Amino acid sequence: MSKKNKVKEEKVLDEEKVEGIEEELKDNEETLEEKMAKIEADLEDWKGAYARKNAEFQNFTKRKQNELEEFRKYASEKVILKVLEAVDNLERGVAASAETKDFDALVKGVEMTLSQMHGIMNAEGVEVIESLGKEFDPHLHQAVMTENCENIDNDHIVMELQKGYKMKERVIRPSMVKVCKK
């Protein structure tokens, strides 16, 4: 074989290889395009699902916020209804004593209403903070006065000026007190 034929033969073989490679690339290109189209479709599905879930979550958040506002708005309704009963009793007592001028009955009616109010407070978990004679506790008491005392221990309460209250172990109003200082 001559050199020319050999070069021609190699050229033909190279062309066949190139054609084979081009065909293989074309097949791979089609496969890649199909894969790319599938990935893009999946991406669009994920975006849509994300948008729907995000909208659902925002709606859920708004709904819960509205429910919480509604709860806060009417949370004290049960207690107010009980207090209204006591107010009604006070109003009836005042009206009756004004007609009869029986102030002893008015005092008795006020005492009964006060007892009713204490019952309502107890039912709601409100209790009086004991102060008189106790050691001063800044978590329970508010010292508004001090007094020099000889026969009482230092930092003990000698006078309660206003009762304090706890609701379910939480101080809602500290007792205003006078404390002994030496």
pTM above 0.85, yes or no: no
Q: Is 38 helix (H, G, I), strand (E, B) or coil?
A: helix
pLDDT tens-place string over residues 130-181 = 999 999 999 999 999 999 988 888 899 999 999 999 999 899 999 999 999 8
Domain ranges of the chain: 1-74, 76-124, 128-182
pLDDT tens-place string over residues 68-83 = 999 988 888 888 888 8
Burial of residue 159 (CB within 10 Å: 0-12, 13-18, 19+) is: middle
Residue 151 φ/ψ, nearest 5 degrees: -100, 10
Task: Report the C-alpha gap between 94 and 90 in whole angstroms.
Answer: 6
For residues 105 and 94, the answer to whether their CB atoms sit within 8 Å is no
Both tokens assigned to 160 = 């309660």
> Buried b / exposed e across 63-85, counting CB within 10 Å, b at 16+?
eeeeeeeeeeeeeeeeeeebeee
Answer yes or no: CATH 3.10.20.590 is held by domain 128-182.
no
